[in-house]
């Protein structure tokens, strides 16, 4: 009788232990399934973001090509206007040059002293020079006005092209976000997937940005507790001494 009682007690204890173990394993399985579903949804969202960014990149490339084409056209128009404006004065001078020899024919027929002839010739030469200089000055003014107009038209295109190159260079820059306390390899990859790659971007976060990032990373006030924005401002400004003084545990290379 005693042996049967002990066997029954051992059986009941085994059933209870097995039930507890089964419940725990089932809970872990459900948790893993939830993590897997969350990871899949995040993967789909990142793919959608990647497709959107690819489309924006193609649009930027097209805009850059248009700006470069407009700049090339403006430079070509400026060069053509300069070449067309240069021959005009010489043509005008060549057409007005034959008027100078006319006083020489009447000089032998006059009985007046020879001193008066140079005076008449001298008076006619400035008039011819003024007549030749007037078209030359007007052509020079027209060429200068056309050149300035072309330069004004080309200036915005050059500024936009320069701004596009600066934006592309800024987009290519990537800082080591793992230097910030609280950002490890996993969080750095998630931030890169959200387009956050520099200290300056984190330093410029607003309250709405913080809420959006925390919702995506499933944080709850962690960014404010770990002072990400304060760390990013110091690193973006290049103040390594102040960063090391305020955050001595952050290190100089990266957090693991």
Which two three-digit tokens encode residue 217? 């990373």
Which two three-digit tokens encode residue 242? 């102040």
Q: What is the pLDDT of residue 155?
A: 55
Q: What is the pLDDT of residue 119?
A: 38
Q: Along the 256 residues of the chain, how does pLDDT read in single tens digits?
A: 778 888 888 999 999 999 999 999 999 999 899 999 999 999 999 999 999 999 999 999 999 999 999 999 898 888 877 766 655 555 445 444 444 444 444 434 344 333 444 334 434 444 444 545 555 555 556 555 655 565 565 555 555 555 545 444 445 578 888 889 888 888 899 899 989 999 999 999 999 999 998 888 887 788 988 899 999 999 999 999 999 999 888 755 555 4
Q: Dihedral sign, CA of 109, 113, 114, 117?
A: negative
| Distant-in-sequence, close-in-space partners of 88: CB < 8 Å, separation ≥ 6 | 135, 136, 139, 143
Q: What is the pLDDT of residue 40?
A: 92
Torsion angle, alpha carbons of 43, 47, 53, 58, to 10 = 160
Q: Name the residue ranges covered by the structural domains of the chain.
A: 2-100+127-172, 177-246
């Amino acid at each position: 009788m005693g042996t049967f009682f002990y066997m029954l007690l051992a059986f009941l204890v085994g059933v209870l232990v097995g039930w507890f173990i089964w419940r725990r394993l089932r809970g872990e399985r459900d948790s893993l399934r939830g993590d897997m579903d969350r990871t899949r949804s995040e993967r789909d969202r990142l793919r959608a973001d990647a497709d959107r960014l690819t489309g924006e990149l193609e649009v930027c490339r097209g805009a850059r090509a248009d700006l470069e084409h407009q700049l090339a056209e403006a430079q070509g128009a400026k060069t053509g206007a300069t070449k067309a404006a240069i021959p005009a004065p010489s043509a005008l001078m060549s057409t007005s040059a034959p008027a100078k020899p006319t006083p020489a024919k009447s000089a032998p027929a006059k009985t007046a002293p020879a001193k008066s002839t140079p005076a008449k010739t001298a008076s006619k030469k400035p008039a011819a020079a003024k007549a030749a200089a007037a078209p030359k000055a007007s052509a020079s003014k027209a060429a200068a006005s056309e050149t300035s107009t072309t330069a004004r038209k080309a200036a915005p295109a050059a500024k936009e092209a320069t701004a596009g190159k600066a934006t592309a260079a800024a987009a290519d820059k990537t800082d080591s976000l793992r230097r910030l306390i609280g950002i490890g390899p996993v969080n750095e990859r998630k931030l890169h997937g959200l387009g956050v790659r520099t200290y300056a971007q984190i330093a410029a976060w607003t309250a709405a940005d913080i809420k959006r990032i925390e919702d995506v990373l499933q944080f709850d006030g962690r960014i404010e507790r770990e002072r990400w924005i304060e760390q990013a401002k110091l690193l973006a400004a290049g103040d390594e001494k102040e960063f090391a003084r305020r955050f001595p545990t952050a290190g100089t290379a990266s957090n693991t």
